[in-house]
Amino acid sequence: MFEGPPGSGKGTLLPIIKDEYCSCHLATGDMLRASVAAKTPLGIKAKEAMDNGQLVSDDLVVGIFNEALKKP
């Protein structure tokens, strides 16, 4: 698992590393944007929070993450 602040290089380095080691790259921001764009029930709730200037709750992020894990 790689963690770091925005702009620290996670999004640049992890695609390279995932290809080298045949692993998975899941980015929370990417998953949130995809869920909002797809207008999933969780994405709609996340968009409401974001539009109101709030952080997306842990419960919503975990739900969106679990949805992503179900995809191949």
pLDDT score for 28: 85
Residue-level pLDDT at 14: 83
| 63 closest CA partner among 3, 44, 23 | 44
Q: Which residue has the tokens 């380095």?
A: 13
CA–CA dist 42, 6 (Å, integer): 23
Reported as a pLDDT band with limits 50, 70 and 90, residue 62 is: very high
What per-residue confidence (pLDDT) applies to 43? 95
Judge contact between 35 and 67, C-beta under 8 A: yes
Model confidence at 15, pLDDT cuts 50, 70, 90, reads confident
Q: What is the pTM of this model?
A: 0.72
